[in-house]
Amino acid sequence: MPELPEVETIKNQVKDILPLKIESVEYSPFSRSIIKGQDFDPLGKTIKDVCRQGKVLRFLFSNQLRMISGLGMSGSWRISEKKIEVKHTHILFKGKKGKKTFYLGYVDPRRFGNIHFLTANNEEQWLKRLGPDVSSDNFNEEYLWSLRQQKPTKVLKPFLLDQQFFAGIGNYMASEICARAHVRPTRKMGKLTRKECQLLVEATRSVLEDSIKNNGTTFSGGYADAFGEKGEGVKNLVVFYQKNCGICQKTEVKKIILGNRGTYYCPHCQK
């Protein structure tokens, strides 16, 4: 599913067509299963900006109105100067930036994504469910150390997926972070050292940098950016879906199940 690097890529691409005054909106027959809240009608409104918090896109409309978009397992926003005819397009905005017309469509084959049209106050309440964005300065060694003390029995890798504490991390990132920090994904939070907390933060920054500069990471049949292109971050992976460890270059990567999710690690490099 799209994780922080993929959502960041889409955000940066969408920014280029903003502000966008919406002249028409089309909904698929399945869109009501995706739209979870609608405080306002976007027709006639202007999308002034877009930003990201964790794996969530925040579209900032005029008059302090907001659209929150969680991409679920297979969601993406697509941009085109022609009408988007891609299958599974569930919301399609047609709008103007200056004199130029753009289409902005939400595409989601599996329909696990969610969209909320909210007032600024309601958005503020909604966002309280998210912890610190792991690309921000609020995610640091001291924060991890405090969680070590608060949640000592939590198993590291599944805990990294909890958006209440680590906004932006998904499954491939969690395995990669543990690998680059040289920490086993099965370690309990209470067993982490100060140094390992520092290494986990540094590993997070490293994974983010590598994936974002390659426009995200696409696996088979997965994520596509706002132009329908695949991300090339797979070339930077060291354990996830890899046969041999990309760090030591020799040890076979092991796969286990933690928290019902596939988890990859190197038994030589990760202690």
Could you give the CA distance from residue 1 to residue 253 in angstroms, rounded to a whole number? 22
- DSSP 8-state class, residue 217: B
Catalytic site residue from 55, 58, 154, 184: 55
97 part of the active site: no
Catalytic site residue from 21, 187, 188, 261: 261
Could you give the CA distance from residue 252 to residue 247 in angstroms, rounded to a whole number? 11
261 part of the active site: yes
2 part of the active site: yes
Establish how many alpha carbons lie within 13 A of residue 169's alpha carbon, considering only the half-sphere containing its beta carbon.
30
Catalytic site residue from 3, 6, 8, 123: 3
Q: In the chain, what are the helix, strand and coil shares in percent, each to the nearest 5?
A: 30, 30, 45
What is the spatial order of strands in the sheet that 35-38 belongs to?
35-38, 114-119, 65-70, 56-61, 46-53, 20-27, 89-97, 100-107, 76-80
The counts of H helices and E strands in the chain are 6, 11
- The catalytic residues are 2-3, 55, 261
